[in-house]
Amino acid sequence: MVHDAAQAERLSAARTSRAGRALIAPALVLGALLLGACGGGGTPAQQGVGGGTALRLADCDDWNGSGVEERLNTVKQLREFAGGPIGNIAARGAILDDDQAYDLLVSQCEPEFSGAFRLYKLYVRAAAFIGH
């Protein structure tokens, strides 16, 4: 039991600091993967929904503001991204059927609060559970 308010505050700050450090490594790995996917080659960056948003930034607001053709193109790009090679091993990422992916994004982007949900996160999480 801590009787000193200053000591309690230091302990709380230490716990918060450890929790923050525990999140840094996964965030750095994810950031490196996303930046690595951007590429610096001669090919243009993948366009997400509507053609104006990079795929890694496309969210439900973009999805909801797009037409069917733009959405189908985004589903194709998500499949290509998620189904890409995994590291240096001869394996590929899990993917969804395009119809499954389209229906998933329609349903997940329907609620009003979902506007900032990233499409690629919705896709890869669903593919991890039900993909092939």
Domain ranges of the chain: 1-42, 44-132
Whole-number percent of the chain with pLDDT over 90: 51
pLDDT of residue 16: 53
What is the rounded CA–CA span in Å between residue 92 and residue 69?
26
Residue 40 reports pLDDT greater than 50? no
71 or 20: which leads in pLDDT? 71
Residue 50 has a pLDDT of: 58
Distances 3 to 14, 17, 132 between C-alpha atoms, Å: 17, 22, 56
pLDDT of residue 86: 83
Tell whether the model's pLDDT for residue 63 goes beyond 60: yes
C-alpha distance from residue 103 to each of 9, 27, 106 (Å): 48, 29, 5
CA atoms within 13 A on the CB side of 75: 18
**Is the sign of the CA dihedral 9, 10, 13, 18 positive or negative?**
negative
pLDDT over threshold 80, residue 96:
yes
